[in-house]
Amino acid sequence: MKIFNTIKSIILVLLVFIAGEVVAQDTTQQIVPGSFNSDAAQKKPYVIMFSIDGLRADFVDKYNATALQAYGKNGIVADYMTSSFPSLTFPNHYSIVTGLYPAHHGLVDNTFFDEKANATYTMANKKIVADPYWYGGTPLWVLAEKQQMLTASFYWVASETPILNTTPSYYYYYNDKIKIEKRINQIKEWLSLPEKTRPHLITFYMPDVDDAAHNYGPDSKQAEAAVQYIDNVIQQINTAVSSLHLPVNFILVSDHGMALVNSQTPMRLPKAVDPTKFYVPSGSALLQLYAKDISAIQSTYQALQKEANGYDVYLKENMPKAYHYNTLDDKYNRIGDIVLVAKLPNTFSLSGRPSSPGKHGYDPRLPEMRASFRAWGPAFKSGKKIHGFENIHVYPLVAKILGLTFNEKTIDGRLSVLKHTLK
């Protein structure tokens, strides 16, 4: 019995140790060894790019985010930034850092099917998310690293993935265990490193507004509190970085807006769709229908057209041109053969169960789906208000500030759209 208890104790200790190691790994900074800035890179300015998930274009003023309002007066404020279709988190974060529409970079939805891999990409599958197979284009941090300019990331879609065999020189695996104070201090520590090892591009992601607006709605007190919270955090970062007296430029973006939806009586999978003939991943603003039997596409589409109520139905080849989401755009063959797009305030639920009151993913041109853009720092003009623009144009802007070269023919974004914001 004593032997059994001893073995049991050893096993328990090992399990605790292993669990502790996993947690430690998840919260420990990852550093790529042997990374150094070139002499030319050391002379370049710096960019910190914030992504505030779900920060609708009107939220800064609606909820009186005073710090961001003040920074905007000393820099650039866009009326709005238009998300790429669909207005979802993963596609748009990756569009911002690649300058490509989702159909051109491969992340066509938060959840989608790839016929070649015979697999479904989903945000919850960490193994798939970490696989570079799923990511096209050249993210900004890859562009910089390959030109001997170091980068860092405190979370961003795909920043943990070795795309083109490259990650940021400094990054963290996504988790919610690291306190905000640690994140703020980490930025200052990165920018306090010797010039040889100091990152010039830092990406920084915060989910707080999206979480609150999803769970309680975009007009809730919780959403207001979340906006006030991120406003305070960015003010703290701005103050901490200012003390270093470096030419740091700040760019704040969001991936999409948020709308109040009819969450209590969602739409089910239409009766016209035979689940034995179509694979349908989960979705709320849109449903992708992948044909198991291609002969069923046309007849199902025609039946859906007659049945459609509360949503639009499209064949992939006749998706609206403005979406950049049709057969010709579908570089990786990942868009559904039929796509159902809900009309606000409607939402889909395959289970039929009520969901959270805040949603996004709809037509990016809708006011509720508009994202935010603000920028300030030595590279930007002061007190300039600009019209709305598509998020694909952020990529060449950041590249220009950092002095990075790229072939404009390989991206959808154009420097000409935002060049006038620079001094």
The CA distance from 121 to 141, in Å, is 23
Closest by Cα among 254, 32, 258, 22 to 150: 32
Q: Per-residue pLDDT for 239 more than 80? A: yes
CA R_g for the chain: 23
Give the model's pLDDT for residue 27. 83
Q: Span 278-359: which CATH code?
A: 3.30.1360.180
**Is pLDDT of 4 > 60?**
no
How high is the pLDDT of residue 6? 40
The number of helices, as runs of H, and strands, as runs of E, in the chain is: 13, 19
- β-pair partners for 289: 338
Residue ranges of the domains in the chain?
43-100+137-260+374-421, 278-359
The sign of the CA dihedral 176, 392, 317, 333 is negative
Asked if pLDDT for residue 231 goes beyond 70, the answer is yes
Say what percent of the chain tops pLDDT 70: 94
Could you report the per-residue pLDDT of 300-329, keeping only the tens digit for each?
A: 999 999 999 999 999 999 999 999 999 999
Burial category of 309 from C-beta neighbours within 10 Å (exposed 0-12, middle 13-18, buried 19 and up): exposed
Asked if the 43-100+137-260+374-421 domain carries CATH number 3.30.2130.10, the reply is: no
Q: Helix 180-191 to helix 221-242 angle, to the nearest 10 degrees?
A: 30
Average the pLDDT over 176-204 and give the result.
97
**Please, which pLDDT band fits residue 43 given cuts at 50, 70 and 90?**
very high
Whole-number pLDDT of residue 160? 96
Question: What pLDDT does residue 279 have?
Answer: 98
For position 1, what pLDDT does the model report? 42
pTM for the complete prediction?
0.93
Burial, 111: exposed, middle or buried (Cβ in 10 Å; 0-12, 13-18, 19+)? middle
Cα atoms in the 13 Å half-sphere on the side-chain side of 33: 0
State the average pLDDT over residues 142-162. 98
Which structure tokens are listed for 165? 């065999």
- Mean pLDDT (the chain, rounded): 94
pLDDT tier for residue 20 given thresholds of 50, 70 and 90 = very low
Q: Report whether pLDDT(155) > 70.
A: yes
DSSP label of 413: -
The count of C-alpha atoms lying within 13 angstroms of the C-alpha of 314, restricted to the half-sphere facing its C-beta, is 20
23 vs 326, residue with greater confidence: 326
* Percent of all residues in the chain with a pLDDT value above 90, rounded to a whole number: 93
Residue type, 129: V
Task: Check pLDDT > 90 for residue 211.
Answer: yes
pLDDT band at 177; cut points 50, 70, 90: confident
- Phi, psi (degrees; rounded to nearest 5) at 207: -95, 0
Q: Is the pLDDT of residue 180 over 60?
A: yes
Please check whether residue 396 is in contact with residue 375, taking contact to mean a CB–CB distance below 8 angstroms.
no
Please give the helix or strand (H or E) that residue 314 lies within, else none.
Answer: strand 311-315
- Provide the H-helix boundaries in 192-220: 208-216
- Alpha carbon separation from 377 to 243, 349, 374 (Å, rounded): 14, 44, 11
Q: What is the H or E stretch that residue 259 is in?
A: strand 259-260
